[in-house]
Structures are given as C-alpha cells and as structure tokens.
Structure 1
C-alpha cells in the first residue's frame, strides 16, 4: 500500500458525488467518490492511500489525458517477475511502488535511475488518515 501525505485544497459535492483536491509537495492531486470522508476540509493534512496495482508508469510527461493524478518519480529498483514487475519509485522523499506487466517495462525500457511519471485515476485514491 502506497502512502502519501498531502494537504486538502478543495472539497466539492454535487448530486451525491464528491471531488477532493490535494496538494502533495506542490503537485495537485484529485480524489472522486460518492461521499467525502468525515471531517475533511480545506487546509487539513491527510495521508492518502493508493494501491500499487493501481499505479501506471509513463516514461514521458503525460499530455492530453483525462488523468488528473501524475507524480514525477525516479525509479529506484525493478523486481522482475515472469508476468509482473514491482517498480520501486520515489516522489520527493516518499517511496512508491507500482506493480505493472513485464511487457510494459520492456516496451518502455525503464531502468533504475530513470525519471518517469506515476499515474493513477481519481477514483483509486482514498484517505487513510486525517491529521488534527
């Protein structure tokens, strides 16, 4: 489970759907859900969760995409399996893991030390903890 600290910047609700925006070390992130977590409000510090299997990697800057969540990362290690690879990345001081198909790693030619983008849907972000 990936954990990422952020600050809530905006909370919107309409017709039973909520959109919460965050600032994570200067990078804007978004979370969409049916109901926002209780006690979430702008300026609150939170710990977000993102499953490793819900993170995709891009070798270049993502452009013209509906994804609103893109973190610049540096690849630290790649644990290759027969079908899947576990990619250890770092976003500033925060370690992240992405589990992706080996064929994707081979086609992108990703290697430790490379810069990449960790991408994930707004619906795949969840709040683990709200700090007081």
Structure 2
C-alpha cells in the first residue's frame, strides 16, 4: 500500500458526492468519494492511500489527460516477474510502488533512474487516516 502525507485544502460536495483537494509536497491531488472520513476538514493532516495496481506510469508524456493526479517521479528499482513488473519510484521524499504488466514495462523500456509521471485517478485515491482527530 502506498502512503502519502498530505493536507486537505478544499472540500466540495453535492448530495453524497465529494471532491477533496489535498496538498502533497506542493502538488495538488484530488480524491472523489461518496462519504467523508470522520474528522476530515480543510487544513486537516491526512495519510492518503493508493494501491500499487492503481498507479499508472507515463514516460515521455505530452498532451492533456483526464487524470487529476499527476506526480513526477524517478524509478528507484524494477523487479520483473513472469507477468508483472514491480516498479518502486520516488516522488519528493516518498517512495511509491506500481504494478504494471511485464509487457508494458518492456515496451516502455523502463530503467532505474528514468524520470516518469505517475498517474492516479481521483476515484482511486483514498484517506487512510485523519491525523488531526
């Protein structure tokens, strides 16, 4: 499980749907969810969670994407299995993991030290814990 420290900067809601904006190391991240975690408020410190299987990797990215969350990262390690590659990346001071297919890893010619962009849909980001409760 990937864990990122962040601060809530905005909460928008309509009926049961909420869009929550966070600051993670100067980057804006957005989360879409139905229920607000207990104690969540603007300026709350939180730990965000992202499953490794929900972190996409882009190399030589150009153009517009619908992904709300795009983080610059550097590849720290690559472990190739028979079907999947486990990629460890550093974004700011935090390490994150991504699981992608081996064929995608090979097609993209990924190497340790490559600079890439991590892509995370707003619906895949979640609050693991609210630290200010």
Interval of TM-score (by shorter of Structure 1 and Structure 2): over 0.9
In the alignment, structure 1 residue 93 sits paired with structure 2 residue 93: yes
CA distance in 1, matches of 2:90, 2:69: 15
Aligned ranges for residues 1-132 of structure 1 at < 5 Å? Answer: 1-61=1-61, 63-132=63-132
Contact 1:20 1:31 in 2 (8 A): yes
**Deviation at residue 65 of structure 1 after TM alignment:** 1.0
Q: How many residues align structurally?
A: 132
Q: CA separation in 1, counterparts of 2:52 and 2:125?
A: 11
**1:61 Cα deviation after fit:** 3.6
What is the CA-CA distance between 1:28 and the residue it aligns to? Answer: 0.6
Query: What is the distance in 2 between the residues matched to 1:68 and 1:46?
Result: 19
Gaps of 5+ in 1: none
Q: Return the offset for 1:62.
A: 5.2
TM-score, length-normalised on structure 2? Answer: 0.95
TM (norm. structure 1) is 0.96
Residues 33-76 of structure 1, C-alpha deviation per residue, up to 9 Å, x if partnerless?
11121211111110000000010000124531111011110000
**RMSD, aligned α-carbons:** 1.0
Question: Given the superposition, is the C-alpha separation of residues 56 and 9 from structure 1 closer, same or farther in structure 2, using an over 3 Å criterion?
Answer: same
Q: Which aligned segments of 4 or more residues in structure 1 are displaced greater than 6 angstroms? A: none
